[in-house]
Structure 1
Amino acid sequence: MASCCMILALATLTPTLAMAAESALAFPGAQGWAAHTPGGRDGKILRVTTLKPRGPGSLREALETAGPRTVVFEVGGVIDLDRDTLDVKEPFLTIAGQTAPSPGITLVRGGIDVRTHDVVIRHIRIRPGDAEVAHFGGWEHDGFSTYEGAVDVIVDHCSLTWATDENLSSSGKRFIGETPDDWRNNTSHRITFSNNLIAEGLAFASHAKGEHSKGSLIHDNVNDILIIGNLYAHNFERSPLFKGGVRGMVINNLIYDPGQRAIHYNLIAEEWGDHPYQLGRLAMIGNAMRAGPSTPNDVALFMLGGSGDIELYQEDNIAVDRIGRPLPILGRYTTTAAKIIELKQRPVLPEGVKPITAVQVQDAVINGVGARPWDRDHDDARVVSDTVEGRGRIIDSQTDVGGYPHQSETHQAFVAEDWDLATMTPRKPYSARVRPH
């Protein structure tokens, strides 16, 4: 079902065209409650022609343009955001990183925040890093996050590493409105995070709190969120973390080398005050967790913390230590009365979700995860290889693994005829578009 804003836009079409537009997937294989967002379909084609962080032809200019739009790239290389954020406030947007010439687009020293509806982001790399800020210096930056107002958002096949806050998150104010339904409607909802590489959150870097190697924070009352087919690697916690009242699904993810926690749920009483606690809901299906060099001996796949209850459906999940011995599926890090309410009946799965078995997950994720898997850059290839081989560790700085990328700027004209502009899929294989670096 489309968002309310999309329905208004469709009202100007004939009934037949409106029905077709509303039923179309964002792209082949789109999944989740956001699967039918149009993104920037049928809008302007905006060409990014420079790696400069702002000005004519920049990615920032394209994102700030009003109206439906699809952002394509006639340049490849690194965009240095210089400790700034790309704020997406204009709806109906598709960022098509798959159109960039090799080596693709990598953002450093900054990230992207989405505060609007109907956004599709695919095949870009975001690597905030510590931006040369001192330890505890207050540079606390997500790679990507949604905030209140974010509805029908898909982040698919992106690489998100080296954040000093979370690598990939969904957030917003907890309690906008009078009722719990208001809270859920006014924070991020109908979100899909699919096929992303979410790795190497920086531990002791520039966050004011100190240790902050985190994968994904799904903030209080976020709902209808699907986290599917991702690789979480070398994050101390939050792979992912669901906070109070969150409702969503974690399906077919590969979690490698977690620190003290992998998937967890935590309603923090201090943050909820006098607001009535809401019941969390999580379906955890077909996930695989493997311990690595940074993993303690007693980590469970799912752990309950805090003060709130959660309804949990679990099916076909596996967790093993470094030599293949089973690790527990469930654990807890709270002494409160909070409880796991285990559900026996599988919930209805959202659009396009057909889980594979947990033993198939590693090969499937490794084969297709991250930005431009047909054209992986050095750091994505390194993380994927280390996951397969059981190497790597949680890091404190991007300099621990070679530093920010230095890629030559490349150029190639965008040829509209080479693409299905409705879904931004190529009319010839992606691999045929790779050019020498």
Structure 2
Amino acid sequence: MIARYNKIVFLIGALLCTNAYANAQTQQTLAFQGAEGYGAYAQGGKAGDIYHVTNLADSGKGTFREAVSVPGRTVVFDVSGVIKIKDKIAVSPNTTISGQTAPGEGIVVYGNGVSFASNTIVRYMRFRGSINMSKGACTVVLDNLNDLIMDHCSIQWGRWDNLHIKGSSNITLQHCIIGEGIDPQRFGALFEDPKNITIHHCLWIDNQSRNPKAKAGIEYINNVVYNYGVNGFVGGHSAADHYQDIINNYFIAGPNSSTKFIGMFTATDHVYHSGNFADLDKDGVLNGRPVVDSDFVSATATLLSKRSNESPAGVKIEDAASAYKSVLANAGASLNRDAVDLRLIGYLKSLGTSGEIFKTEEAAGGQAELNVSKKKSKKSKMKNQNTEAEAR
């Protein structure tokens, strides 16, 4: 009887160990090669169906709106161009959006906002709002969700903020462009109490303020903030405690910039900072000075001697000058940058001499049509299949 009991205990123990190992393996599976930060383990639609976007219409069969309306899909693109949307799009959970599968210049979703849900992977997409949205609208909303990564995306022309994140956790934004917020606020991003947020190697450009406003637990690494207006990186300055790790970023003043590359911190903002630089002379040369404790003390932040946030899938950290070069080369939907992103990168290259905080997207030049094309060749088909395989 004892031997039988011991055998049962052994089998149960073995089963529990096997399940624990399987769960650990699942937790450690990266969204894709190169995924970093807190959102790196999102799995998206890998277990579900593949949906091909075949046209640029706002709704109906073969459209982006239809593609993301059902959870558990990997969305690929057989067409490139501008998808003009009148109403907001709500992306279902457990979704992978593989913008890198589009031919030509890729995809722009233009005209209104897009909201996302838990367990989502988004790569090489452009999301641009419009002055025709409601006054308080943001271009991209990541509220009340878990496990999401946005990689090489361009987010512009939000009316309140370009990007909004509230009450979420395990989020990564990497190699993205967040820029050109438009009237009435012209702000970059508002983070309202999210936890475990990684923002790395992103370009924040031509926003009046909030690059971002970080009421958050955030690791903010290797970003470039260019031509901020009133403020660059903004603290939470609220009654709640927030923990911001600000590491090896480059703050570069442009034509519209004040001297406040950081600001609006209070004692409830607990800041660890290291390796950051600020170039404030607008002389066309990258020659910034180190950011020091007094820059944050003058903003009344509480300074810490060690990091509060460090994601399991850690970010490969560069020095600030190297991060500038990486952002210049790779930020946004950079497989084929379109005219808007090329213009923004041109501003950044000027290192202080060009750039503008616009009131509308039309004042900035508007959204031009992209080079529309469909996949026809065997080579393109093979590329699409390879990307589908990677997404799984």
Common fold, TM-score beyond 0.5? yes
- For residues 47 and 253 of structure 2, the distance between their equivalents in structure 1, rounded to whole angstroms, comes to 45
Matched, 1:284 2:246: yes
How high is the TM-score relative to the length of structure 2? 0.86
Q: Which residue of 1 aligns with 2:158?
A: 163
- For residues 109 and 214 of structure 1, the distance between their equivalents in structure 2, rounded to whole angstroms, comes to 17
Q: 1:398 deviation in Å?
A: 1.4
Work out whether residues 113 and 128 of structure 2, in 8 Å CA contact, stay in contact via their aligned partners in 1. Answer: yes
- For residues 26 and 195 of structure 2, the distance between their equivalents in structure 1, rounded to whole angstroms, comes to 25
Q: Which residue of 1 aligns with 2:118?
A: 117
Work out whether residues 125 and 159 of structure 1, in 8 Å CA contact, stay in contact via their aligned partners in 2. Answer: yes
Of 310, 315, 327, which residue of structure 1 is paired with 2:274?
315
Matched, 1:382 2:370: no
Q: Which residue of 1 aligns with 2:388?
A: 421
Of 95, 105, 108, which residue of structure 1 is paired with 2:107?
105
Q: 1:22 deviation in Å?
A: 3.1
Matched, 1:396 2:354: no
CA RMSD in angstroms, aligned pairs only = 2.4
Matched, 1:81 2:85: yes
- For residues 308 and 286 of structure 1, the distance between their equivalents in structure 2, rounded to whole angstroms, comes to 22
- For residues 422 and 308 of structure 1, the distance between their equivalents in structure 2, rounded to whole angstroms, comes to 48
Note the 1:170-185 alignment, pairs <5 A.
170-171=165-166
Q: 1:103 deviation in Å?
A: 1.5
Q: Which residue of 1 aligns with 2:129?
A: 128
Percent of pairs with identical residues: 27
- For residues 348 and 303 of structure 1, the distance between their equivalents in structure 2, rounded to whole angstroms, comes to 21
Tell me which amino acid in the other structure corresponds to 2:342: A
Note the 1:23-172 alignment, pairs <5 A.
23-66=28-71, 68-82=72-86, 84-88=87-91, 90-114=92-116, 116-131=117-132, 138-148=134-144, 150-171=145-166
**Aligned CA distance change for structure 1 residues 99 and 288 (closer, same or farther; 3 Å):** same
Other structure's SS at 1:225 match: strand
- For residues 368 and 219 of structure 2, the distance between their equivalents in structure 1, rounded to whole angstroms, comes to 34
- For residues 106 and 420 of structure 1, the distance between their equivalents in structure 2, rounded to whole angstroms, comes to 19
Q: Which residue of 2 aligns with 1:342?
A: 303
- For residues 59 and 170 of structure 1, the distance between their equivalents in structure 2, rounded to whole angstroms, comes to 23
Tell me which amino acid in the other structure corresponds to 1:166: D
Work out whether residues 194 and 229 of structure 1, in 8 Å CA contact, stay in contact via their aligned partners in 2. Answer: yes
Ranges in structure 2 where 5+ consecutive residues have no aligned partner? 1-15
Work out whether residues 237 and 264 of structure 2, in 8 Å CA contact, stay in contact via their aligned partners in 1. Answer: no
Residues 310-367 of structure 1: per-residue CA shift (max 9 Å, x gap): 1110000000111346486525897xxxx42211124462113121111211101111
Q: Which residue of 1 aligns with 2:3?
A: none
Tell me which amino acid in the other structure corresponds to 1:247: G
- For residues 33 and 422 of structure 1, the distance between their equivalents in structure 2, rounded to whole angstroms, comes to 23
Other structure's SS at 2:27 match: helix
Work out whether residues 143 and 164 of structure 2, in 8 Å CA contact, stay in contact via their aligned partners in 1. Answer: no
Q: Which residue of 1 aligns with 2:169?
A: 189
- For residues 222 and 348 of structure 1, the distance between their equivalents in structure 2, rounded to whole angstroms, comes to 12
Of 248, 261, 265, which residue of structure 1 is paired with 2:235?
265
Residues 372-403 of structure 1: per-residue CA shift (max 9 Å, x gap): x1311111111111101131111111122221
**Aligned CA distance change for structure 1 residues 39 and 189 (closer, same or farther; 3 Å):** same
Other structure's SS at 1:78 match: strand
Q: Which residue of 1 aligns with 2:8?
A: none
Work out whether residues 100 and 335 of structure 2, in 8 Å CA contact, stay in contact via their aligned partners in 1. Answer: no
How many pairs are equivalent? Answer: 363
Q: Which residue of 2 aligns with 1:199?
A: 179
Q: 1:167 deviation in Å?
A: 1.4
More displaced 10-residue stretch of structure 1: 34-43 or 342-351: 342-351
Q: 1:50 deviation in Å?
A: 1.3
Q: Which residue of 2 aligns with 1:4?
A: none
**Aligned CA distance change for structure 1 residues 308 and 65 (closer, same or farther; 3 Å):** same
Larger Rg: 2
**Aligned CA distance change for structure 1 residues 404 and 44 (closer, same or farther; 3 Å):** same
Tell me which amino acid in the other structure corresponds to 1:265: G
Ranges in structure 1 where 5+ consecutive residues have no aligned partner? 1-10, 172-186, 269-276, 426-437
Note the 1:221-370 alignment, pairs <5 A.
221-243=193-215, 246-268=216-238, 277-296=239-258, 298-300=259-261, 302-305=262-265, 309-321=268-280, 322-323=282-283, 324=287, 326=289, 330-331=295-296, 339-347=300-308, 349-350=310-311, 351-370=313-332
- For residues 61 and 175 of structure 2, the distance between their equivalents in structure 1, rounded to whole angstroms, comes to 32
- For residues 174 and 296 of structure 2, the distance between their equivalents in structure 1, rounded to whole angstroms, comes to 26
Residues 65-104 of structure 1: per-residue CA shift (max 9 Å, x gap): 13x210000111011102x11112x321100000011121
Work out whether residues 41 and 422 of structure 1, in 8 Å CA contact, stay in contact via their aligned partners in 2. Answer: no
Q: 1:19 deviation in Å?
A: 4.7
